[in-house]
């Protein structure tokens, strides 16, 4: 990691709060994977209604709220006050980018869905690159290409492994989402789920994961492999997890307890009040502050959900349809969220080593 980034991190959160946050994200993340894998291995896949529970919870717990502090993070990371102008800029970003993407869903749902998978891959990957650098101190990711490789690996795990391991459930959710807009278009995605396409994805992505891990190994010394071992444990843990746990459940848990948790902890480190609280071990104080900060725009997100419900041409009629409406809402909210997180990445020099 560059000296500049360390300097900023000293500004944005003490080493003690950083270490606390790192332990929390790793502990909760690995525990979630272990519990879900063990339960699935012991008693088999939970019945479908249970698989929806984490995604349903993510509407108010961790998931939707993690982006609902987007209007606060940039000024906080820059050490500037939150002004009416900074709020308006984020509001306009959400309005224009979100609306444009909603229009794309209406006009071309299949490309919009493929874009959603790509956006998620990039966004979840970028979140993990930050965590690798700042929480794990993976200093073997010293160049921009090495970080891009880590992005593709970490983002590809939740988006590609389920496609290989659970094509039927993946196709079902994909077709339900596209079907909300145009039931005739849903079949267009079918070739992606063919055995040939899945084999190609498994081989290509598998080789990339192996290459990334091997590269990290070769760039570290025997005495200093701690961060690399964390990286391998997380990576292989996620491979096993997404291979074993059915995707609706797996992605729901991952969204809450992996991606969103890490991002929320990141936003706490750039917030002077929360990071001071973390430093003294007052985790409850930091969480109460986050709950208060994120509450208004979580309600805003729910209003968007209701809006999407009314603009989709097909009336949602099943639990799967409700999930599909929620996923379109997430898609529309995530694109502007990616812009904010990319600016935060820039502020924290994630991409300019
Ligand atoms: C639920 C689910 C899917 C998609 C989930 C996606 C794409 C979620 C994106 C969430 C985002 C972007 C959150 C923001 O941080 C798949 C893969 C179709 C497979 C079946 C289950
Ligand atoms: Fe996010």
Give 214-262 as a DSSP string.
HHHHHTS-GGG-HHHHHHHHHHHHHHHHHHHS-HHHHHHHHIIIIIIHH
**Measured from the CB, is residue 227 less than 6 Å from ligand 1?**
no
Helix (H/G/I), strand (E/B), else coil: 120: helix
Distance 330 CA to ligand 1 centre (A): 8
- Tell which atom from ligand 1 comes closest to the C-alpha of 159: 17
List pLDDT tens digits, range 102-120: 999 999 999 999 999 999 9
- Tell which atom from ligand 1 comes closest to the C-alpha of 127: 15
**Measured from the CB, is residue 174 less than 6 Å from ligand 1?**
yes
**Positions at the binding site for Fe cation:** 66, 123, 259, 263
Distance 123 CA to ligand 2 centre (A): 6
What is the reported pTM? 0.94
Distance 146 CA to ligand 2 centre (A): 21
252 in Cβ contact with 175 (< 8 Å): no
228 in Cβ contact with 140 (< 8 Å): yes
Task: Among the bound ligands, name the one nearest to the CA of residue 130.
Answer: 2
List pLDDT tens digits, range 228-241: 999 999 999 999 99
Instruction: Provide the residue count of the chain.
Output: 353
Task: Among the bound ligands, name the one nearest to the CA of residue 58.
Answer: 1
Q: Is the interface score ipTM higher than 0.90?
A: yes
Res. 2 pLDDT band, cuts 50 70 90:
very low
Distance 326 CA to ligand 2 centre (A): 15
């Amino acid at each position: 990691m560059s000296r500049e980034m360390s300097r900023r991190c000293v500004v944005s959160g003490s080493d003690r709060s950083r270490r606390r946050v790192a332990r929390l994200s790793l502990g909760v993340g690995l525990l979630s994977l272990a519990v879900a894998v063990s339960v699935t291995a012991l008693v088999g896949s939970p019945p479908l209604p249970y698989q929806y529970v984490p995604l349903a919870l993510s509407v108010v717990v961790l998931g939707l709220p993690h982006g609902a502090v987007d209007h606060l993070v940039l000024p906080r990371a820059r050490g500037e006050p939150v002004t009416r102008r900074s709020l308006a800029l984020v509001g306009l970003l959400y309005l224009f980018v979100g609306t444009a993407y909603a229009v794309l869903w209406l006009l071309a749902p299949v490309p919009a869905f493929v874009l959603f998978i790509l956006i998620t891959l990039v966004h979840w990957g970028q979140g993990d690159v930050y965590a690798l650098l700042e929480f794990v101190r993976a200093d073997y990711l010293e160049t921009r290409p090495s970080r891009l490789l880590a992005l593709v690996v970490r983002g590809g795990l939740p988006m590609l492994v389920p496609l290989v391991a659970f094509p039927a459930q993946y196709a079902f959710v994909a077709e339900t989402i596209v079907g909300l807009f145009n039931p005739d278009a849903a079949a267009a995605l079918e070739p992606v789920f063919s055995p040939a396409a899945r084999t190609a994805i498994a081989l290509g992505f598998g080789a990339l994961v192996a290459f990334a891990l091997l590269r990290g190994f070769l760039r570290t010394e025997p005495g200093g492999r701690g961060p690399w071992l964390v990286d391998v444990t997380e990576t292989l843990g996620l491979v096993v997890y997404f291979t074993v746990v059915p995707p609706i459940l797996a992605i729901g848990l991952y969204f809450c307890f992996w991606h969103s948790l890490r991002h929320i902890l990141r936003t706490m480190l750039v917030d002077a009040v929360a990071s001071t609280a973390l430093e003294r071990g007052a985790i409850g104080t930091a969480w109460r502050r986050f709950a208060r900060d994120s509450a208004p725009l979580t309600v805003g997100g729910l209003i968007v959900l209701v809006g999407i419900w009314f603009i989709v041409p097909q009336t949602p009629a099943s639990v799967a349809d409700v999930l599909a409406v929620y996923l379109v809402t997430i898609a529309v909210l995530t694109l502007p969220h990616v812009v904010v997180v990319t600016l935060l990445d820039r502020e924290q020099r994630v991409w300019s080593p």
